[in-house]
Amino acid sequence: MENLQSCRNDPQQLYAQLARLLHSATGSELSKPTSTEVENFPKRYFRGGRSQAIAQLKKLDPIQYGSTRNFVSGAVTRLSPWLRHGVLSLAEVRDAAISKVEHASQAEKLISELGWRDYWQRVREARPEGVWQELETPAAELRGEVIDYLPENIANGETGLACVDVFCKKLVRDGWLHNHERMWLAS
């Protein structure tokens, strides 16, 4: 990892350097999405059905997932669509992960993440109204800065912030973002 100490006292230089690093961590420059890409983005990578789910499950690499998931270029399962719609169960993914390793501990991180998914689904089931309520007043609301539309520059990936632009374009192009890309984009 590059040392950013040299620019920590110069916010503009620091932000420029961070943008460059984040941009390079996400891959090559992505072009502005076309209207066809916007229209068809989820169809490109995710196909419904049990056979597609099993094909993706067979690609699961719990060791790689556990060791690289915290990096934008790290391994992801891409199983969310089938988990969300009940085509795959969490137990099925857990069992597949364990079957691919010599010791169950090698699949621990993936199994832990499945556990968190199960936990939050149970919270939502117990308090469905809570999903739509804020735990606290959002900072933007307190500052009077709430907007109720998606700005065009964000939709087009033209904010001028390299990492945000790449993430916006990637979301439209691929229909998904790595967990850390989602967190960075949301922040």
The per-residue pLDDT for 1 is: 41
List C-alpha distances in Å: 52 to 13, 59, 133, 158: 46, 11, 35, 34
15-43 pLDDT, tens per residue? 566 555 555 555 445 555 555 555 554 55
**Which residues, 6+ apart, have CB-to-CB distance to 149 below 8 Å?**
none
51-96 pLDDT, tens per residue? 999 999 999 999 999 999 888 888 889 898 899 889 999 999 999 9
Per cent of the chain over pLDDT 90 is 33
The per-residue pLDDT for 90 is: 97
List C-alpha distances in Å: 125 to 6, 36, 152: 49, 36, 35
Task: Break the chain into its structural domains and give their ranges.
Answer: 9-33+156-187, 46-127
Percent of the chain as helix, strand, coil, to the nearest 5: 65, 0, 35
For 165-180, b where at least 16 C-beta lie within 10 A, e where not — what string?
bbbbbbbbbbbbbbeb
Using the structure block, give the residue that is written with the tokens 């790449």: 166
The CA distance from 57 to 36, in Å, is 29
The per-residue pLDDT for 28 is: 46
Query: Is the pTM higher than 0.85?
Result: no
The CA distance from 120 to 79, in Å, is 17
pLDDT > 60? residue 159: yes
The CA distance from 133 to 108, in Å, is 32
Residue 171 contacts residue 44 (beta carbons within 8 Å): no
Fold of 46-127: 1.25.40
| Six-digit token string for 134 | 């804020």
